[in-house]
A = this chain, B = another copy of it.
Amino acid sequence: MHTTVDFSQTRITGGFWKQKQALVRRVTAGAVYDRFYDTGRIDAFKFDWKEGMDKKPHFFWDSDVAKWMEGVAYMLAIKPDASLEKKVDALVDLIEKNQGEDGYFNIFFTVVDPAHRFAVRDWHELYCAGHLMEAAVAYYKATGKRKFLDCMCRYADYIEKRFVLDADTAFRTPGHEEIELALVRLYECTGEQRYLALAKHFVDARGQINEGLANWTDGSYSQSHIPVREQKTAEGHAVRAMYLYCGMADVALHTGDRELQAACEALFDNVAQKRMYITGGIGSSGAGEAFTVDYDLPNLISYTESCAALALALFANRMLRFGADSKYSDVVERVMYNGFLSSLSLDGKSFFYQNPLEILPQMHKRDVSVTHRSVNLPPMQRREVFDCSCCPPNIVRFIPSIANMLYSDDGEVIYVHQFMQSVTTVERGDKMLVLEQVTKYPENGKVKIKLSGGDARIAVRIPGWFDGYKGKTEKGYAYFDLKDGQELSFNFVMKPVFIQARPEVIFDAGRFAVMRGPVVYCMESADNGALLRDIALDSRARFTYGKHPVLGVPQLSVRAWRSVREPDAPLYRQKTQNKEKVNAVLIPYYAFANRGESEMQVWHFVK
């Protein structure tokens, strides 16, 4: 079977992602825990909340903390940390203590609203269960401790009893997916076929009957409008959709279900070809945090939730197990360096829930006399915690496990999907192959890949953004038979280029993005002054690549033109040529909004 090489087999030894992992370990993990503590999410696991007390548990709180625990498990797998481990152990003890005799575990439906257990489809009950299961698997694999895993197996057994054996619940499939992929992980970890079967049950039951949510949306919001095998376009809530597709791909892989695989392929193609921002952000509409229609990708009001981008990478990475195709790994890379990474502040402490592609601060001030009816725009600054704080712990689990994106292995070929300075071991019968990557990617595109420990066939993704590769490729991969000790060397030259969108993306019409390698660049008024749309980058000028003096991130500068400021100019007049030469500064999109409120744009005018 074609498998992802688990992140735990890789040591990231330097470069971009090592720094990000260090930041998450040093700052983010603790910051998220502290905010969860402040808001009552941690103590909620004591199950001692009573009516009238503040910090009333919300029905999704279990999942917030579970994702944090899962992230910590990944950090522990890389390097022990007694303090973090103790925090998780304390939570696990509470979970064991407060789990029902029957195996049920949920804070909200035990201490707040026990009458509605398995009664309200949209209240995230099985979503919480899924995240707890993922955390339990991760923690078991990182520490060898079984307690949490055993709890969650009991819970899974109870869910099977209620949803399949007794079939006495008020809904058949959850309003928010996640349990499907989690059950497959439980199956992969324990070998228990019933968990795979239960995952398949939830996947197949979806959309078979008219199973709505509340009356504020239609079935497509939760991907329940038609059976999943018939779905050809990505609909509804983007995070739910991605978690479902991950589960579908997992089930398809483990059961050899080609029809389900084909549905995944069609859904992926719809997203990647018609419903994805250049940053890898998805879910353009704030109403429903949802997909809308093909090519509807407005920049100012883009919703593009961090969780959705991240989950798209998880889905795309899963698709690689059906056979390497760079259309998947290119999307993983697009998300990693852009629409996902923008969610975390450079100091590691605060988070975007929405990741807009353009910010106009003046738009936030527009409805001055009727303040409550303002246009719904994404916040301009990251926050430390949200009422619905799903994104921060997702970052805590994604970055430590990012080496999951590096390799897959079908027993014949080892596939190199991403590039980072690292050492990875891949077991092959009695041999232990070692793959070492030496690279400063994405600082530049020079990559050396060295094989040792034996001979092997290696396939390397040629990045879709690189048009200079001369060798033969198959679905975007170049194949090599390497001997023990042999080294491959690539130079994916990163020169800044202007990117256009298909004309159907009307919001980008007449405008161009700048990319250097996999990194999308943006402009901020902090560097360029106000009215970014008034700047036209000179398409014939050369970009200068350097380091941003304040942010410490890369920067591009290029000659540009903007209107000469004329205070007395009329509001409208005949087209003039009153333009002055300026030097435009661009920074990586992932680094925007780290200097207070600022205009920002990804799509630029070009002269």
Contact = CB atoms under 8 A, between A and B. Distances in A.
A560 to B, nearest CB: 13
B574 A499 contact: yes
Contact of A367 (B285, B371, B372, B510): B285
Given A290-B370, A369-B290, A373-B287, A539 B575 contact: yes
A369 B570 contact: no
Interface string A346-374: 00000000000000101101111111111
B498 A575 contact: yes
A510 B511 contact: yes
B276 A571 contact: yes
A22 interface: no
B509 A605 contact: yes
A554 interface: no
Overall SS of chain A's interface? loop
A11 interface: no
A571 B502 contact: yes
Interface in A233-247: 235-237
A502 B574 contact: no
Given A292-B368, A367-B287, A536-B510, A503 B362 contact: no
A450 interface: no
Given A273-B571, A500-B575, A237 B366 contact: no
Given A292-B366, A296-B363, A576 B500 contact: yes
26 contacts: A218-B371, A220-B369, A221-B369, A236-B369, A273-B570, A284-B366, A287-B367, A287-B373, A287-B375, A288-B369, A290-B368, A291-B368, A293-B362, A293-B368, A296-B366, A498-B574, A499-B572, A499-B575, A500-B572, A501-B571, A501-B572, A502-B571, A502-B572, A510-B510, A510-B536, A512-B575
| 7 closest Cβ pairs, A-B complex | A509-B533, A288-B370, A287-B373, A221-B369, A503-B534, A292-B366, A498-B575
Given A296-B363, A498-B575, A502-B572, 5 more contacts: A221-B370, A274-B571, A295-B362, A497-B574, A506-B533
